[in-house]
Structure 1
Amino acid sequence: MLSSADLVRKDQALTSFNRWSDDLHSICGSFNPRRMDVSTDIRGEARRINACGMEFAHVSNDLDRIHRDWDDVRRDAVEHLFLIVQLEGSCGVEHTGRQSTLNVGDCILVDSTRPTTFYFGGSYSNHLSMHLPRQLMYSQGGDKFDVARKLEAFDPMAIMLRALVAKIMATPESDTHAASLRQLMFNATRQAFISEMEAAPALEALGDNAVRRLQMVDVLIDQHLTNAHLSAKWLATRVGVSIRTLQQHFQGMGMTCTTVIRDKRLRFAREKIEQIQAQRGTQTIAEVAYAAGFNDVSYFNRSFRELFACAPSDLLKTSIQKKTAL
């Protein structure tokens, strides 16, 4: 994979800053690039690669840095975990309070729901980012992922992940083993980055810091997303505050706890519907709704249409029609 002509090129074309930024936004969401010299174009590109039913971002540049803050996180409707493999050069990564330097072959897991800064300092860097649906990754169990932990290039898990990424990129979506290969990728990433911490930090340590409290709530929502007991009241009890205090925290972000839970469940349901069509499954929309934590199918359909501007059945039909046309 590291020597692929499509990923590592001897002559990198120059791309205008605005074009490069627009391409990055369309693929990865709200990230803010900063140049070393405002008068020059960028050496590199940001492009989408679709392979084996999975999406990648191939990002090369000689920028100063790329930053994503809390406002950028809130603007993005889609949530991913980004599995990043460094192909050329190096870059610094600051994420969840941890700092790492990625060299060729190193891997790291980044959460799109957290602020992130990539540092390049004007030196050329080239990496590949696999987009893993966040809710699907967390829905398989109560495991917590150790995001921002770097796997060195020689680490056996990093070697395995690079091999799987290379295999996925060489496998068409129509391949009979594509669905199994995707699932293997999900499972391998879970095993590679499962948290080594035996337990989450004590809740008492959060004090009155609303931001850290909301971060804990976000993890709890992901871990218990499809459980019937998940509610604002349950979350408030878990973090040791009143439901009124918790709601005030969310109001400060311009949302409510109930809305956050609902929208996360809807995104999870959408991923499940797309998974059904990819694997030609027979699960019904109602079954998806119940599996996502909804107990009212009519409410689920209405909420789904409000968030995605289409009915869940329309999404499934459209996906099936596209596959039939192919």
Structure 2
Amino acid sequence: MQSLMTPGHKPVQVEILEAEIRKVCGSFDLEPMRRTGVINGDVTTRRVGPFDTAIVALDASEVARSTRSIKQDPGEYFFLLVQDAGQCRVEQGDHVAELLPGDMFLVDSVKPSTFLYRGERSNQVSLHIPREEVVHRFGNACAGGLSISREDPLWVAMRAVIAKMLLEDGAQAQLGEAFLCLMGAYLHSSRVAGVAASTETLLSRALAMIDRHRADPGFGPRELATRLNVSERMLQRHFRPLGETPGHRLLNRRLELAHARLTARREQPSEGVTAVAFDCGFNDLSYFYREFRKKYGATPGAVARCH
């Protein structure tokens, strides 16, 4: 993914960078990764089409906008956050998104939000869209934050317009209008898709996703919550009627898959227990052996020999 901008990371006092962020974006609290009083970052501003825009580079632990900050500094904008380099985890209400280069998230300035960087260098472009304009056009569809999926073809068009506005100083107001029209089309298609999926509960989608990705060792409760666009806490609440957690459900489905593979070894006689464990989503053999024996009362090797 080609970067839109190339801001520089330079050593700067934490208090100075925090003050710059507050001057440009409003009341946010900056938490550095190291206790040295210095952070690598930079904040610049420019007019992008009709929008005031901040280009933010930093390697912080996190940046947060609390309820107290909102009371001191009422929100006037939606911030369209474009991850340009590095990564960032955005949390706003029940919306959680892991942003990689190219990903976009519409942040609502009147709701608390947290941006987690984990000390890694991150470059972001933040378009400040007047809140009154967005609410007037689209109602409350964006309230509380919105992740813009790159799987949607409209994402490509939105990014192309942003890139054109960044390249052309003093870009015409028509480009800003085109961007808002694309955003409106995206929100409309999202609402239609939401109505179509209204009969499918979050729990049923979670269970189907666990079955689909159980063999992936990198897939866990956090990834599941991110893909469903909810917080881990909300996801756990939906699993309570089952009497288990998302992690326990995922573990059981992996064990069941491994058991099925071991008892079907006549079709795959050369497949060893270790290979089965890794292929079924485990990356810790001792953990696999312990949990397998706890569930089936026998070791994986004993089950394989019996079949």
Alpha-carbon distance in 2 for matches of 1:18, 1:143: 35
Q: Give 1:13's aligned amino acid.
A: K
Alpha-carbon distance in 2 for matches of 1:147, 1:180: 28
Q: Tell me the secondary structure at the aligned position of residue 145 of structure 2.
A: coil
Match of 2:137 among 127, 135, 140: 140
User: Gaps spanning 5+ residues in structure 1: where?
Assistant: 202-326
Alpha-carbon distance in 1 for matches of 2:20, 2:159: 25
The residue aligned with 1:309 is none
Asked if the contact 2:92–2:145 (Cα under 8 Å) also holds between the matched residues in 1, the reply is: yes
The residue aligned with 2:35 is 38
Q: Give 2:175's aligned amino acid.
A: L
CA deviations on 1:269-299 (whole Å, 9 max, x unpaired) are xxxxxxxxxxxxxxxxxxxxxxxxxxxxxxx
Which structure has the bigger radius of gyration? Answer: 2
How far residue 151 of structure 1 moved from its aligned partner, in angstroms, is: 2.9
How far residue 153 of structure 1 moved from its aligned partner, in angstroms, is: 4.0
**Does 2:63 align with 1:100?**
no
How far residue 171 of structure 1 moved from its aligned partner, in angstroms, is: 2.9
Alignment of 1:100-249 (within 5 A): 100-142=97-139, 144-145=141-142, 148-153=145-150, 155-173=152-170, 178-194=172-188, 196=191, 197-198=194-195
The residue aligned with 1:3 is 3
CA deviations on 1:225-276 (whole Å, 9 max, x unpaired) are xxxxxxxxxxxxxxxxxxxxxxxxxxxxxxxxxxxxxxxxxxxxxxxxxxxx
Alpha-carbon distance in 1 for matches of 2:146, 2:82: 13
Q: Tell me the secondary structure at the aligned position of residue 129 of structure 1.
A: strand
Q: Tell me the secondary structure at the aligned position of residue 158 of structure 1.
A: helix
How far residue 98 of structure 1 moved from its aligned partner, in angstroms, is: 1.8
**Alignment length, in residue pairs?**
194
Q: Give 1:21's aligned amino acid.
A: E
Q: Tell me the secondary structure at the aligned position of residue 44 of structure 1.
A: strand
Alpha-carbon distance in 2 for matches of 1:141, 1:93: 22
Q: Give 2:114's aligned amino acid.
A: T
The residue aligned with 2:254 is none
Are the structure 2 counterparts of residues 165 and 158 from structure 1 closer, same or farther at C-alpha, using a change threshold of 3 Å?
Answer: same
Asked if the contact 1:146–1:193 (Cα under 8 Å) also holds between the matched residues in 2, the reply is: no
Are the structure 2 counterparts of residues 147 and 157 from structure 1 closer, same or farther at C-alpha, using a change threshold of 3 Å?
Answer: farther
Alpha-carbon distance in 2 for matches of 1:118, 1:141: 25
Asked if the contact 2:89–2:116 (Cα under 8 Å) also holds between the matched residues in 1, the reply is: yes
Aligned-residue identity in percent: 26
The residue aligned with 1:83 is 80
How far residue 147 of structure 1 moved from its aligned partner, in angstroms, is: 5.1
TM-score (normalised: structure 1): 0.54
How far residue 146 of structure 1 moved from its aligned partner, in angstroms, is: 6.6
Q: Give 2:6's aligned amino acid.
A: V
Compare 154-163 and 17-26 and name the one that shifted more: 154-163
Alpha-carbon distance in 2 for matches of 1:67, 1:113: 13
Compare 11-20 and 99-108 and name the one that shifted more: 11-20
TM-score (normalised: structure 2): 0.58
Alpha-carbon distance in 2 for matches of 1:190, 1:27: 26
Are the structure 2 counterparts of residues 31 and 141 from structure 1 closer, same or farther at C-alpha, using a change threshold of 3 Å?
Answer: closer
Are the structure 2 counterparts of residues 198 and 138 from structure 1 closer, same or farther at C-alpha, using a change threshold of 3 Å?
Answer: farther
Alpha-carbon distance in 1 for matches of 2:72, 2:183: 27
- RMSD of equivalent CA atoms: 2.5
Q: Tell me the secondary structure at the aligned position of residue 126 of structure 1.
A: strand
User: Gaps spanning 5+ residues in structure 2: where?
Assistant: 199-307
How far residue 78 of structure 1 moved from its aligned partner, in angstroms, is: 4.5
Alpha-carbon distance in 1 for matches of 2:156, 2:163: 11
Q: Give 1:8's aligned amino acid.
A: T
